[in-house]
DNA sequence: CTGTTAGCGCGTTCAA
DNA sequence: TTGAACGCGCTAACAG
């Protein structure tokens, strides 16, 4: 007796991980049917109290844990959300995604959903395949789409397939779908107007890939302010970047070489704005005095930059949480009793970013 | 005929996503057995060339895509890697993880592995449950462990269970396991010695949670240099932070209030070093002249900070790729023919970080 | 070359 | 209150 017990322990530890305990094992041990064991563990009330206790006890002892894949197949549901991160170039150094992912990850966990992440270049065949795998391969129950683009094919695809998804960002497809977005246009207007109010007349703008919808909206907002204030079109030089810090650095170098030199530079996102500040400082300019700089997003670094960056606050972490919560609701609606009162699911949310004035912006040099 | 066809189209479009094409559907349509269809699609050579063509043709037409969950259950393999991100507090603003995740995500994709991500507070019950789910629930075939801790229970658990994993960071458990790590001790020695060589005598050090192994090693490296140079123990003030920028800011404020005021501050990571720079600048000090600051990691922001930050370079993206590649090899070894020659899998890699001298460090004020 | 049989591990009928 | 039978969708051993 002693011997065989030891033997079993040896076996179970040396093959740990390959031979797992299944419902069948439990059933055999208990002299019950698999069905009963299953129901006992699931907490059905048509199982004798005593039986349930025995089953749970043994399950604990034998270290039973349900095979999730089998549950998924049987339930026809994965309890998983998919998040395909669009990564330009080989790496994603954008703190924006850190924030977002944290929000998404924490919220998904709260609702007991797993999160499947993949990183793919935007508009690539690999990205399309990733979505096919998710939708057709039923790899997840819903998807999160971020950084929406012009004529966004991801959104078209998911809509056509009737696959649950929520986007961070709107689109221009004429399709109705659930999203959360900040009002980039209005936000950028506020920022640009702030610079105008300070007395600036010569502007530089650091834009980003035209396909990104929020970039176009921000550029539009910027232009509309210049126009409304009667500045000539070339009163606003526009140089394109790729959202990374380095490109902001380069763009600013270019802008600051123009004549007349801009006294204010606005960038499409904080990262490029920080790059622009470096470029200016390298040229010996004091940011906030010789040159004003404005960004967009209010990433954590903005507050601690030197000088602290004037920017439009966008609650990225909260947006991550929110789109996740919306997606979970969307998925769970069909599961709920249709007769019940559900919290009315919000479908389209537009947030107005808040202007955060810090020391990187001030009156232009030579003004009263 | 026409009618019923239209009917079918309506059905299929309105229920798109819920009624998917299965092997059975294909088999019925083709008048073949499910087995044959399966093998034709898998490219087995015991299927008539003609049959294979017909099957593939029809699969294409009907939009067949295999149900991945079913494949997983059948093959007893998920082709998925799990990555539990340790997140202190409500958010993870550390660009470190962006870099790492990009490396992991891209490499996993290259090997056709999916990536399951979850965010959990370190050492929490939720984190333990996440690992149980992965291992016992067979949610993935392997796991990536980062930010190793003292007596790391994750590593103990995975080892005991015989579950494939690779860590970024070593441990102190006396367990042999595969990892990639940078030599924090030596790296910090190089950085501290750099400051000593510049002529600094009064140091401040911004540390981090004691449980993080790399922090302890860095602190040890720092202390060993002070000692080797015959500085008194209190010649190196140590204040603790939490790796975030803000805590570096606060820690520096505290350090700079001491007498004698340190002329050099070294932080455990770049983010806190950047925070320290802000604090110094806010006090009117010029970093690089009045105060030298050094960091660790060389995140992209370090190069573009103002002034650019002296730091130890750690190829985070590449480390992400590397641990992923090692994990994939580990998982696939049992699958390979044991007679074949395999590339000898590397198990323990120790990288030496490289000193990157930038303008945030210079001779102490008042020196020749 | 193709089909039959047999599961992977679980949950959900329906009878007993 | 319990168990037998069935199937989720797929793959693999074995016949024919």
> pLDDT digit string (tens) for A238-266?
999 999 888 999 999 999 999 889 999 99
- For residue B232, give how far its alpha carbon lies from the nearest alpha carbon of chain A (Å): 33
Q: Is the pLDDT of residue B4 over 60?
A: no
Kindly state the DSSP code that residue B19 receives in the 8-state scheme.
S
Alpha-carbon distances of B132 from A64, A67, B76, B125, B161, rounded to whole Å: 11, 11, 18, 10, 10
Asked which of A329-338, A346-355, B349-358 is least confident by mean pLDDT, the reply is A329-338
| Of residues A16, A92, A306, nearest to B102 (C-beta) | A92
Using the Cβ of B66 and the Cβ atoms of chain A, whether some distance falls under 8 Å is answered with yes
Residue A156 CA to residue A137 CA, distance in Å, equals: 18
Q: Do A317 and B119 touch (CB under 8 A)?
A: no
CB A106 within 8 A of CB B119: yes
Flag whether pLDDT at A299 surpasses 80. Answer: yes
Local confidence band at B96 (pLDDT 50, 70, 90 cut-offs): confident
pLDDT at B92: 60
Collect all residues of chain B within an 8 Å Cβ-Cβ radius of residue A140. Answer: none
Q: What is the pLDDT of residues A157-206, one digit of tens each?
A: 999 999 999 999 999 999 999 999 999 999 999 999 999 999 999 999 99
- Whole-number mean pLDDT of chain A? 89
Closest to B183 (Cα-Cα) out of B196, B174, B194, B170? B170
| R_g of chain A computed on alpha carbons | 28
Report angle CA B258, B259, B261 to the nearest 5 degrees.
75
In angstroms, rounded to a whole number, what is the distance separating the alpha carbons of residues A180 and A186?
A: 15
Residue A74 CA distance to nucleotide C10 C1' (Å): 6
Answer whether B301 touches A (CB < 8 Å).
yes
Contact of A330 with A166, CB cutoff 8 Å:
yes
For B87, nearest residue in chain A (alpha carbons): A102
Confidence of residue B70 (pLDDT cuts 50, 70, 90): very high
Angle, CA of B353, B208 and B347, to the nearest 5°: 45
Query: Residue A360 in contact with residue A309, Cβ under 8 Å?
Result: yes
Tell me, yes or no, if the pTM score tops 0.85.
yes
Residue B85 predicted with pLDDT over 50: yes
Give the list of residues 6+ apart from residue B269 with CB closer than 8 angstroms, or none.
Answer: B96, B208, B243, B295, B296, B297
Assess whether pLDDT exceeds 70 at residue B273: yes
* A175/A170 Cα distance (integer angstroms): 10
Q: Which nucleotides of C are covered by protein (CB under 7 A)?
A: 1-5, 7-13
DSSP element (H, E) containing A105: helix A95-110
Provide the pLDDT for residue B121: 94
The whole-number pLDDT of residue A335 equals 61
- pLDDT above 60 (res B12): no
B74 with B47: CB under 8 angstroms?
no
Cis omega (within 30 of 0) on the bond before B72?
no
For residue B14, pLDDT over 60 is answered with no
Closest Cα of chain A to B237: distance in Å? Answer: 23
Residue A46: pLDDT band (50, 70, 90) is: confident
Which of A283, A221, A212 is closest to A241 using CA atoms?
A212
DSSP B32-97: --HHHHHHHHHT-TTS-HHHHHHHHHHHHHHT----HHHHHHHHT---EEEEEEE--SS----HHH
Provide the CB-side half-sphere exposure for A351 (13 A, CA).
Answer: 19
Q: In b/e form, how buried is each residue of A203-217, taking b as 16+ CB within 10 angstroms? A: bbbbbbbeebbbbbb
pLDDT of residue B17: 42
Report the SS3 class of residue B234.
Answer: helix
Is the pLDDT at B304 greater than 50? The verdict is yes
Above pLDDT 70, what percent of chain B?
A: 89
Confidence of residue A138 (pLDDT cuts 50, 70, 90): very high
pLDDT above 60 for B339 = no
**Closest residue by Cα to residue A168 from A249, A85, A44:** A85
E strand residue ranges, A121-220:
142-146, 165-168, 179-182, 203-207
Residue A9 has pLDDT above 70, yes or no: no
Percent of chain A with pLDDT over 90: 77
Contact assessment for residue B310 and residue B292, using Cβ atoms and an 8 Å cutoff: yes
Cβ-based neighbours of B28, under 8 Å, separated by 6 or more: none
Whole-number distance in Å between B24 CA and C3 C1': 14
Which residues in chain B belong to E strands, given as ranges?
80-86, 114-120, 142-146, 165-168, 179-182, 203-207, 236-240, 264-267, 292-294, 311-313, 348-351, 354-356
pLDDT for A336: 54
Please report the residues numbered 77 through 116 in chain B whose beta carbons come closer than 8 angstroms to any beta carbon of chain A: 78, 85, 87, 90-95, 97-99, 101-103, 105-106, 108-109, 114-116
Whether the Cβ atoms of residue B166 and residue B145 lie closer than 8 Å to each other: yes
The percentage of chain B sitting over the pLDDT mark of 90, rounded to a whole number, equals 78
Q: Is the pLDDT of residue B7 over 70?
A: no
Looking at chain B, which residue has its C-alpha nearest residue A119? Answer: B105
Instruction: Please report the pLDDT score of residue A231 as a whole number.
Output: 86
Cα separation of B271 and B252, whole Å?
12
Q: pLDDT value at position B9?
A: 28
User: What's the mean per-residue pLDDT of chain B?
Assistant: 89
Interface test with A, best of B26, B108, B137 (most A CBs within 10 A): B137
Question: What pLDDT is attached to residue A153?
Answer: 97
pLDDT-derived band of residue B344, with 50, 70 and 90 as boundaries? low
Q: Which of B68, B101, B138 sits opposite A67 (nearest CB)?
A: B138
Size of interface A-B (CB pairs under 8 A): 191
Half-sphere CA count of B295, side-chain side, radius 13 A = 31
Q: Give A295-360 as a DSSP string.
A: -SB--HHHHHSSSPPBEEE--HHHHHHHHHHHHHHHHHGGGS-TTS--PPPP-EEEEPPEEE--TT
pLDDT value at A368 more than 70 = no
Higher pLDDT, B11 or A296: A296
B87, B118, B136: residue with CB nearest A20: B136
Q: Residue B334 and residue B347: Cα distance in Å, rounded?
A: 16
Q: For residues B310 and B195, what is the distance between their CA atoms, to the nearest angstrom?
A: 10
Quote the Cα angle for A362-A365-A367, to 5°.
90
Residues in B touching A133 (Cβ below 8 Å): 65, 68
Q: How many CA atoms lie within 13 A of B220 on its CB side?
A: 11
For residue A105, pLDDT over 70 is answered with yes
Separation between Cα atoms, residue A267 and residue A252, nearest integer Å: 9
Q: What is the mean pLDDT of residues B174-192?
A: 97
Nearest CA to B297 out of B229, B218, B210, B242 is that of: B218
* Lowest-pLDDT choice from A108-112, A118-122, B300-304: B300-304
A-chain residues near B91 (CB < 8 A): 99, 102-103, 317
Closest C1' nucleotide to A26's CA? C9
CA B165, CA B162: separation in Å to the nearest integer?
Answer: 9
Q: Is the pLDDT of residue A92 over 90?
A: no
Predicted pLDDT at B334 = 64
Residue A165 dihedral angles phi and psi, to the nearest 5°: -155, 160
Q: Give CA–CA dist A318/A296, Å, rounded.
A: 16
Residues on chain A touching B15 (C-beta within 8 angstroms) = 162
Long-range contacts from A164-173, C-beta under 8 angstroms, 24+ separation: A164/A327, A164/A330, A164/A331, A165/A327, A165/A330, A166/A142, A166/A323, A166/A324, A166/A326, A166/A327, A166/A330, A167/A323, A168/A100, A168/A144, A168/A319, A168/A320, A168/A323, A169/A145, A169/A213, A169/A214, A170/A213, A171/A213, A172/A213
Task: Classify the phi-psi angles of B76: left when phi > 0, otherwise alpha if psi is within -120 to 50, otherwise beta.
Answer: left
Q: CB of B357 within 8 A of CB of B310? A: yes
- Asked if B193 reaches chain A (Cβ–Cβ under 8 Å), the answer is no
Does residue B16 register a pLDDT over 50?
A: no
Phi, psi of A271 (to 5 degrees): -60, -45
Instruction: Supply the pLDDT for residue A93.
Output: 62
Chain B interface test: which of A86, A93, A131 (most B C-beta within 10 Å): A93
């Amino acid at each position: 007796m002693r011997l065989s017990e030891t033997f079993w322990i040896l076996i179970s530890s040396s093959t740990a991980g390959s031979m797992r305990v299944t419902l069948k094992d439990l059933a055999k041990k208990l002299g019950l049917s698999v069905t009963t064991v299953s129901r006992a563990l699931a907490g059905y009330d048509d199982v004798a109290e005593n039986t349930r206790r025995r089953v749970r006890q043994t399950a604990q002892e034998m270290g039973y844990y349900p095979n999730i894949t089998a549950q998924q197949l049987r339930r026809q549901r994965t309890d998983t959300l998919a998040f395909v991160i669009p990564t330009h170039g080989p790496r994603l150094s954008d703190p924006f995604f850190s924030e977002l992912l944290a929000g998404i990850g924490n919220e998904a966990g709260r609702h007991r959903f797993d999160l499947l992440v993949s990183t793919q270049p935007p508009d690539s065949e690999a990205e399309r395949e990733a979505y096919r795998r998710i939708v057709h391969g039923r790899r997840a129950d819903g998807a999160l789409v971020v950084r929406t683009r012009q004529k966004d094919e991801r959104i078209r695809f998911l809509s056509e397939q009737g696959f649950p998804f929520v986007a961070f960002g709107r689109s221009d497809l004429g399709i109705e779908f659930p999203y959360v977005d900040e009002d980039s246009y209005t936000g950028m207007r506020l920022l640009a107007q702030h610079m105008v109010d300070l007395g600036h007349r010569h502007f530089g703008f650091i834009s980003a890939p035209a396909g990104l919808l929020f970039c176009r909206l921000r550029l539009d907002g910027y232009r509309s302010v210049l126009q409304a204030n009667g500045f000539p079109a070339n009163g606003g030089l526009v140089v394109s970047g790729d959202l990374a810090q380095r490109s902001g650095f380069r763009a600013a170098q270019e802008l600051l070489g123009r004549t007349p030199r801009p006294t204010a530079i606005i960038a499409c996102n904080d990262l490029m704005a920080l790059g622009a500040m470096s470029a200016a400082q390298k040229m010996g300019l004091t940011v906030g005095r010789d040159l004003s700089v404005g960004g967009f997003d209010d990433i954590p670094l903005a507050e601690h930059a030197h000088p602290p960056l004037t920017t439009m606050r966008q609650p990225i972490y909260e947006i991550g949480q929110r789109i996740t919560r919306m997606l979970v609701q969307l998925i769970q609606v069909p599961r709920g009793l249709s007769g019940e009162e559900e919290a009315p699911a919000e479908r389209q949310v537009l947030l107005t970013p808040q202007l955060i004035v810090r020391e990187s912006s001030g009156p232009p040099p030579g003004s009263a």
